[in-house]
Amino acid sequence: MNKIRVLIIDDSAVIRDVLSEILAADGAFDVVGTAVDPIDARAKIKQLKPDVLTLDIEMPKMDGISFLRNLMKLNPLPVVMISTLTHAGAEETLTALEIGAVDFMAKPKVTASDNSLLHFQHELVNKVKAAAMSQQKIKFKREPKKAMPVAHCAKTVPGGKLSGYNIIAIGASTGGTEAIRDVLMDLPENLPPIVITQHIPESFSARFAARLNEQSRLTVVEGKNGDILKPGHVYIAPGSHHIVVKKHGNQLKCRLDNRGPVNRHQPSVEVMFNSLLKIAPNQVVAIMLTGMGEDGAKSMRKLLDAGAHTIVQDEASSLVWGMPKAAVNQGAAKLVVDLHNIAPKIIQHLAGTG
């Protein structure tokens, strides 16, 4: 099997060395070169023909975002962004994902603990492998979806069943920020509350929620402990906590849980889905979108067995068919559909027509 050819683009010699050492130690990779800035990278992409790039956002001569825009127009390649854990870094990283980057990693701190460095190594290896698997899909990636004029987007679900404990839950990982955006942009206002677990760092989740709120007709917020879940609202799990749904009288509430990683993730889709088993699962719509790994697959099967309506994104439209594939293999999928059919299927189910 051919090794994955990786080009590392970063103006920091320390980061170039760290990334090179981690990837070179794994037999799946061939680090074919490094570049100190986008101008250097242009020549080396032509010369070395890498399969995957790692790309710093802040660099001299040309910033990573401008370089990525040009790359996706002229020579689309899978890119894993290397970002700082700051508000500005979060905004730029989310923009990069919107443009076409596959995934991102937070730069390791020089003072990081051994456990943190081991986690970084594991995540980097897995994300670059996942990026390589997405290579053909990157080449045919469509332009980012633009917000549909209000007049052309249904405002309500006809006959929507909004009483009781109806709730929609969405789980996603790699490729999920854009998949979630696409689904929410096609949904109307009069929906049950939506809870979302996207694997994302703590410093990014609030900005992710804010961007979705700007782009969707729904009200999107980062979930807070004790939030009463309201119709027409979307609650994003903070990057530091699991989101758990609890029944409180006639209401549903959000509880943030800090028990530690489950399936190597905090927040975890497994934890969110499991919490829904205790609150009338036959009135739950559970959705699994693109992502790496198996998080949430087992609990999704439990939800289906308990009467939930489950929808899984198909392989063709998933950037990485890991979590959706695991759900299908568990027998957890009532429906397996293209990304652009997920919102219509939700609406049909709530309207009692599908």
Tell me the per-residue pLDDT of 215-269, one tens digit each, with 9 for 90 and over: 999 999 999 999 999 999 999 999 999 999 999 998 999 999 999 999 999 999 9
Q: Provide the mean pLDDT of the chain.
A: 91
pLDDT at 11 over 50: yes
Helix intervals (H) in 9-151:
13-24, 38-48, 64-74, 87-99, 114-133, 135-139
What is the average per-residue pLDDT within 150-163?
Answer: 51
Domains of the chain: 4-139 (3.40.50.2300), 150-351 (3.40.50.180)
Distance CA(163)–CA(161), nearest Å, equals 6
Tell me the per-residue pLDDT of 47-72, one tens digit each, with 9 for 90 and over: 999 999 999 998 888 999 999 999 99
Q: What is the pLDDT of residue 225?
A: 98
Q: What is the pLDDT of residue 154?
A: 56
pLDDT at 353 over 70: yes
Q: What is the pLDDT of residue 119?
A: 85
Enter the tokens of residue 64.
């990573």
Distance CA(284)–CA(76), nearest Å, equals 39
Contact 186, 210 (CB under 8 A): no
Q: What is the pLDDT of residue 139?
A: 56
Burial category of 201 from C-beta neighbours within 10 Å (exposed 0-12, middle 13-18, buried 19 and up): middle
Q: Is the full-model pTM beyond 0.75?
A: yes
Enter the tokens of residue 90.
């979060």
What is the average per-residue pLDDT within 24-41?
Answer: 96
Distance CA(211)–CA(196), nearest Å, equals 14
What region, left, alpha or beta, does residue 222 occupy, with left being phi > 0 and alpha being psi -120 to 50 degrees?
beta
Q: What is the pLDDT of residue 157?
A: 64
User: Quick one: which of 135, 139, 118 has its CA closest to 2?
Assistant: 135
Q: What is the pLDDT of residue 141?
A: 54
Is 295 an annotated catalytic residue?
yes
Residue 340: what are its φ and ψ, rounded to 5°?
A: -75, -10
What is the average per-residue pLDDT within 334-349?
Answer: 97
What is the average per-residue pLDDT within 199-223?
Answer: 96
Instruction: Give the confidence band of 149 by pLDDT, cuts at 50, 70, 90.
Output: very low
Burial category of 202 from C-beta neighbours within 10 Å (exposed 0-12, middle 13-18, buried 19 and up): middle
Peptide bond into 267 cis (omega under 30): yes
Who contacts 30 (Cβ-Cβ below 8 Å, separation ≥6)?
Answer: 3, 4, 5, 6
pLDDT at 276 over 60: yes
Q: DSSP code of 120? A: H
Instruction: Tell me which of 134, 173, 268, 275 is the catalytic residue.
Output: 173
Supply the Cα-derived Rg of the chain in whole angstroms.
20
Tell me the per-residue pLDDT of 39-49, one tens digit each, with 9 for 90 and over: 999 999 999 99
Q: What is the pLDDT of residue 109?
A: 72
Instruction: Tell me which of 199, 242, 265, 309 is the catalytic residue.
Output: 199
Residue found under tokens 């009288």: 249
Q: What is the pLDDT of residue 209?
A: 98
Distance CA(328)–CA(212), nearest Å, equals 28
pLDDT at 161 over 70: no
Q: What is the pLDDT of residue 152?
A: 40
Tell me the per-residue pLDDT of 70-113, one tens digit each, with 9 for 90 and over: 999 999 999 999 988 777 788 999 999 999 999 999 887 766 67
Instruction: Tell me which of 37, 227, 295, 314 is the catalytic residue.
Output: 295
% of the chain beyond a pLDDT of 90: 79
Q: What is the pLDDT of residue 115?
A: 78
Q: What is the pLDDT of residue 107?
A: 84
pLDDT at 164 over 50: no
pLDDT at 137 over 80: no
Is 199 an annotated catalytic residue?
yes
Residue 308: what are its φ and ψ, rounded to 5°?
A: -70, 155
